[in-house]
Amino acid sequence: MAKNNNDTKREENLEGTILFNVPFPKKLDAASLKALKEMTAIVKRQPYHVEYIHSYGQDSPFFAGLANKVFIGNRDPESGYTYATPRGADMYSGNETEWVQLPDEGTVHAFTVCHFGSEEFLPDTPFVLALLEFKGANTLFLTRLMGLDPAKASLDWIGMPVKARYLRNSKMKPTDIYFIPAEMKEE
């Protein structure tokens, strides 16, 4: 049946979430309507999927670098202010930035243990998310920190030397790069 703006009934199917026997008063009067405030919340699980087509635009070299196991950032050519994340223009002068290679080694500036995450990261919880410092960069880089037990988080991790690791098969996502403690052996 063709859909148009004059349809008076929505097509139904058995896809997605279907609930059965949802409790609700058979007779609606003042008392039963008031009792609805005490009703237990309905909780449902529902799959959710969205596909996006988007462009990385001026940040494309950053992702191409990650795919080739090269970590790059941006620098203001006049002041030398260097960003560890892609940025097309300097936040102070507005100058167009230039690409620079960043070191694959840095230190932990701060971290948090994530017990919840978006749909993509939920299966990985708990995980460690860290802000890292790099020699020659004026800003921090937010990334996953692997190889540490999230259940044993410690302030001793602050200042810890870390080294970059890259996904073998790039997904063209910021998560193509992650870091591990520098003292860890190669696998």
pLDDT for 1: 47
Q: How many domains does the chain have?
A: 1
Whether residue 148 lies inside any domain: the answer is: yes
Residues 142-150, mean pLDDT to the nearest whole number: 96
Whether residue 78 lies inside any domain: the answer is: yes
Whether residue 45 lies inside any domain: the answer is: no
**159: helix, strand or coil:** coil
Whether residue 16 lies inside any domain: the answer is: no
What are the structure tokens assigned to 70, written together? 């090269």
CA distance 73 to 81: 11
pLDDT digit string, tens, across residues 61-94: 999 999 999 999 999 999 999 999 999 999 999 9
Residues 10-27, mean pLDDT to the nearest whole number: 76
Whether residue 43 lies inside any domain: the answer is: no
CA distances from 97 to 10, 61, 92, 184 (A): 52, 13, 11, 34
pLDDT digit string, tens, across residues 154-169: 999 999 999 999 999 9
The helix (run of H) or strand (run of E) holding residue 33 is helix 30-35
User: Among candidates 164, 172, 179, 147, which has minimal Cα distance to 52?
Assistant: 172
Contact call for residues 165 and 142 (beta carbons, < 8 A): no
What are the structure tokens assigned to 185, written together? 């052996």
Whether residue 64 lies inside any domain: the answer is: yes
pLDDT for 150: 96
Domain of residue 145 covers: 57-181
Whether residue 8 lies inside any domain: the answer is: no
